[in-house]
Amino acid sequence: MKHKLIKTAGAALALLCSTASYATIVEVTTNVGKFEINLFDQTTPVTVQNFLSYINAGRYNGTVFHRSAPGFVIQGGGFTFDQQLPLKAVATFSPIVNEPKWSNVRATVAMAKQSGNPNSATNQWFVNLANNSGGSPQLDKQNSGFTVFGQITSQDMEVVDAIAGLQRFSFPSITDLPLRNYSSGDRDDNKPLVASNLVTIESIVVVDARANTAASLNPVANTSTGGGNNNDDGGSSGSFGWLSLLAGMLLVARRRLR
């Protein structure tokens, strides 16, 4: 009996180790290219489950990267383009609790949220193009820290950097919109946008049975005082203040985003 228990415990341990050696990896397909995100399931479980809920519901399919700040972030997940501006908001689930465990360094993926409300993230997310943890901006600290819940490999960041390298345009309903095959002359002539001009997320799908790359990614811990005491968005130049706006942005978009 004792031998049987030991054998059963050993099998359970083997299963646990096997499970621990895998993590959720999702593949993001855009009209610019594909990249994968390794999600930090064990350390930011609420945020990862929230992200997967939008994926499973298909709510990210057809959304666009609606803001680009070269050297800072690209952001998407919340809006679709229906042949004309303003962009249309995607339905959201309930806001989630903040989990600011990891630092906002280059190639990490984090959630956007409302200003002054740490626990307000819903569907919008961004990719850090640079180390945005401290100095200015201080995404590890501002608004109690922006939750990093995944990371992209350096090779796949080539696609992200290509998106960030696109020319950006401003319209009455939106600013810093990255566009493809659209020129300043087109903007001067008020040429209407078509779907192919926008950077569209065609799909996000879970990639099954992939080895956990978290160990090789080596996420950096957030060591800032990101508890509930620092909700200050004041003094934020436009570079990152809008990360805290976008959960309710459509309500303003028909007039002005900020």
CA distance 52 to 77: 12
Q: Which residue has the tokens 């679709």?
A: 80
Least confident of 19-23, 147-151, 178-182: 19-23
Q: Which residues touch 60 (CB under 8 Å, ≥6 apart)?
A: 54, 77, 90, 123, 201, 203, 204
pLDDT-derived band at 165 (thresholds 50, 70, 90) equals: very high
Domain ranges of the chain: 25-253
Residue entry with tokens 């990862």: 48
> What sign has the CA pseudo-torsion 92, 97, 102, 103?
positive
* pLDDT of residue 35 exceeding 90: yes
Give the confidence band of 97 by pLDDT, cuts at 50, 70, 90.
very high
* b/e 184-213 (16+ beta carbons within 10 angstroms → b): eeeeeeeeebeeebbbbbebbeeeeeeebe
Are the beta carbons of 118 and 231 closer than 8 angstroms? yes
- Rounded average pLDDT over 122-145: 93
Residue 241: pLDDT band by 50, 70, 90 thresholds? Answer: very low
Q: Which residue has the higher pLDDT, 20 or 172?
A: 172
Query: Which of 28-32, 135-139, 170-174 is least confident?
Result: 135-139
Find the range with the poorest average confidence among 217-221, 225-229, 242-246.
225-229
The pLDDT-based confidence of 243 (bands split at 50, 70, 90) is low
The angle subtended at Cα 50 by Cα 151 and Cα 65, nearest 5°, is: 60
Comparing 136 with 39, the larger pLDDT belongs to 39
Average pLDDT over residues 19-29: 70
Give 230 or 219, the one with higher predicted confidence.
219
pLDDT of 87 higher than 50: yes
User: What is residue 80's three-state secondary structure?
Assistant: strand
Q: Rounded mean pLDDT of 105-109?
A: 97
Q: According to the model, what pLDDT value does residue 136 have?
A: 79
Residue 96 has pLDDT above 50, yes or no: yes
The residues pairing with 178 across neighbouring beta strands, listed in sequence order, are 168
- Beta pairing partners, 179: 198
Query: What's the CATH superfamily of 25-253?
Result: Cyclophilin-like (2.40.100.10)
Instruction: Give the confidence band of 135 by pLDDT, cuts at 50, 70, 90.
Output: confident
